[in-house]
Amino acid sequence: MTPAPTSPARPLAFIILAAGKGTRMRSEMPKVLHRVAGVPMVGHALAAARALEPERIVVVVGPGMPEVEATVAPHPTVVQHSQAGTGDAVRAARGALEGFFGDVIVLFGDTPLVTPATLGALRAARDAAEDPAVVVLGMRPRDPGAYGRLVANGRGELEAIVEYLDATEAQRAITLCNAGLMAFDGARMWQLLDAIGNANAKGEYYLTDAVTVARSRGFACRVVEAAEEEVVGVNSRADLAEAERLLQARLRRQAMEAGATLTDPGTVWFSADTRVGRDVVIGPNTFFGPGVEIGDRVEIRGFCHFEGVRIAAGAQIGPFARLRPGAEIGPDAHIGNFVEIKNARIEQGAKVNHLSYVGDARVGAKANIGAGTITCNYDGFLKSHTDIGAGAFIGSNTALVAPIAVGDGAIVGAGSVLTQDVPAQALAVARGRQRVIEDWAISFRKRKEAEKAARRK
């Protein structure tokens, strides 16, 4: 990721607009809480803002949005009661920025892909020689469509924002369009916003009109450009899917640039907080939920699902493994096909290679867990712990009924159901004694053939 430009000495504040109901989402959940790469959209906006180490962040919410308030905590929220446009939304934050005269950047909780570098560029543009009162973020979309056009000169000085319906044919030919985000001089911001009117078809106060007000008072304005993909706004489920597609492409690219191999990048899905080390190989159709850390030289053999997991260097995982929250996979450990690990520590060099469930447990270094092994950790009321010592060997098709401990170096015979601890270096076998009756199968078949013949008569 490109680093943000060097920050000026002035203090910085952010206003994040998150009051929209998102009617087109057809959802009971506030729009900004819908997730992209595992994180609510407003969380992406907050993360980008925090990267610039601002003095204040204020989030504007609508009435009755406690879920949004809880998500953005501890940052303060203010309520936009009237829902009368973006200018009205920003004015709702006035009290929270009382006495603040630094730079103020306004961004949107439903624009999750903006980067700290772009926000830093917005702020840096405030240092231009003409001392701009407003800096607007622009873009050059492949299809300018009905976007507002930014009328600017070759020096980046912004003369006007013209809405598409009001634009002349010459202005509609302009490819530089309004992306919505803006940076203000906090010392002049409120006088500009107070002068915005609502004499328009919707009767709303548009934040973009701040440019017109600033220019009418002789204040300079500037424009900074960003890539179209970075300023995608989300107003529908289709927009949400597009934002997910774009962010996944970014995350895949970042992982590969950091030294990971993705054998089929388009089928690997990351969360925004996924951490992947160097020389990691990730096979196809792998999903990373929130809270996953992958160490160096890990091999993931595809069709795996991870969430809340730490995997240490050199481990081999999959294919078709599911690692659930609390799983800790140690260095050089092996987790194989159709294995599920939950809230368990698999220590260095241990192997759980086939068709097993290990939950609420510790598997010691270099222990081997046979196919079909289950840690029976839940009795319908409480969960209990299973402890398997270093170097232990658990035979196939074994059920370990927790709470239970298997000592270092112990061996458990295949097909056992254990309910008591096993001492170190001991053998434990818990199954019915085998009985062999010579030639029984011959008499069995004769009897059954006779029964079958009798039924035909």
pLDDT for 122-171, tens place per residue?
A: 999 999 889 999 999 999 999 998 889 999 887 778 988 988 888 899 99
Q: Half-sphere exposure (CA, 13 Å, Cβ side) for 331?
A: 2
CATH 3.90.550.10 residue spans of the chain: 12-231
pLDDT at residue number 3? 46
Is the backbone peptide bond immediately before 319 cis, with ω within 30 degrees of 0?
Answer: yes
CATH 2.160.10.10 residue spans of the chain: 237-428
Q: Quick one: CATH architecture of 237-428?
A: 3 Solenoid (2.160)
Q: Give the whole-angstrom CA distance, residue 369 versus residue 353.
A: 7
**Amino acid code (one letter) for 86:** T
Q: What is the DSSP letter of 41?
A: H
Catalytic member of 34, 75, 305, 354: 354
Q: Give the whole-angstrom CA distance, residue 137 versus residue 183.
A: 8
Whole-prediction pTM value? Answer: 0.90
Task: Give the helix ranges, DSSP H, for 95-164.
Answer: 116-125
Distances (CA, A) of 91 to 14, 97, 219, 417: 13, 10, 20, 68
Q: What is the DSSP letter of 4?
A: P
User: Helix axis angle, 41-50 relative to 116-125, nearest 10°?
Assistant: 50
pLDDT at residue number 8? 60
By the 8 A CB rule, do 412 and 393 touch? Answer: yes
pLDDT at residue number 23? 86
* Phi, psi (deg, nearest 5) at residue 153: -95, 180
> Annotated catalytic, 75?
no
pLDDT in tens, the chain (457 residues): 444 444 567 999 999 999 988 889 999 999 999 999 999 999 999 999 999 999 999 999 999 999 999 999 999 999 998 888 999 999 999 999 999 999 999 999 999 999 999 999 999 999 988 999 999 999 999 999 888 999 988 777 898 898 888 889 999 999 999 999 999 999 999 999 999 999 887 888 999 999 999 999 999 999 999 999 999 999 999 999 999 999 999 999 999 999 999 999 999 999 999 999 999 999 999 999 999 999 999 999 999 999 999 999 999 999 999 999 999 999 999 999 999 999 999 999 999 999 999 999 999 999 999 999 999 999 999 999 999 999 999 999 999 999 999 999 999 999 999 999 999 999 999 998 889 999 999 999 999 999 999 998 7
Contacts of 7 (CB under 8 A, 6+ apart): 52, 53, 120, 123
Does domain 12-231 fall under CATH 3.40.50.720? My reply is no
Q: Give the whole-angstrom CA distance, residue 328 versus residue 342.
A: 9
pLDDT at residue number 2? 44
pLDDT at residue number 203? 87
